[in-house]
Amino acid sequence: MSFSQKCRAKIIIRSYKELDIHAKRVLDVGCGNGVVSKILKEKLGFNLTGTDIIDYRKVNIPFRLMTKADALPFEDLSFDLIMFNDVLHHTRDIEPLLIEGARVAKRMLIFEDKEGLLLRLVDLALNHFYSPGMPRPLNFKTFKEWCLLFDKLGLVYSIGEISRPFLYPFKHMVFMLSKNSSDGRG
């Protein structure tokens, strides 16, 4: 396990604990090599399943391969919670995946990067190292763009706090989402 994965996992855990989430059945969309997923499972007590468009797991976690980039291979409301950890910027069209997330789970967590030049370079390099076949559209959104997208999709959202180590060079955003119960979908 690399230093960057350990550090990222710690930041994600702290951010999610601030949101006071209580979930057992959790889906990690874009789980990658599964290392961070396994840490989250152990530290947060989740019954976690991973899914991704490529299976390059380095650790053994329950997993189901996605056959389409915008479709989750699970029944409606199969999970209490879905996590999108640093994965949506690798998606060409984020909207269908969020719609799928709202279909498959009661709530969603998004932990996503704030764009920057250094981040772009490091993201490209690390993802080439960890998974050369991973899509890299680097579809970053600003805080305002995320909020507009959630409003468009009728998702209720809250914003979490991010604390990071002093020398950690990247900034992140974290959101908890659920369906808008006033529109008959929630």
What was the pLDDT predicted at 183?
Answer: 44
| Structural contact between residues 97 and 70, judged by C-beta atoms closer than 8 angstroms | yes
- The answer to whether residue 17 is domain-embedded is yes
Note down the domain range covering 94: 3-179
pLDDT greater than 70 at residue 120: no
- The answer to whether residue 185 is domain-embedded is no
Residue 165 binned pLDDT confidence (cut-offs 50, 70, 90): low
Closest CA to 56 of 133, 112, 125, 3: 133
- The answer to whether residue 184 is domain-embedded is no
pLDDT greater than 60 at residue 16: yes
- The answer to whether residue 186 is domain-embedded is no
Which one has a higher pLDDT value, 72 or 114? 72
- The answer to whether residue 33 is domain-embedded is yes
What was the pLDDT predicted at 94?
Answer: 93
**CATH code, 159:** 3.40.50.150
End-to-end CA distance of the chain: 39
Residue 126 binned pLDDT confidence (cut-offs 50, 70, 90): low
Residue 61 binned pLDDT confidence (cut-offs 50, 70, 90): very high
- The answer to whether residue 55 is domain-embedded is yes
What was the pLDDT predicted at 131?
Answer: 63
pLDDT greater than 50 at residue 184: no
- The answer to whether residue 119 is domain-embedded is yes
- The answer to whether residue 7 is domain-embedded is yes
pLDDT greater than 70 at residue 21: yes
* Mean pLDDT, the chain, whole residue set: 84
The number of distinct structural domains making up the chain is: 1
- Cα dihedral 159, 50, 104, 14 in deg (nearest 10): -20
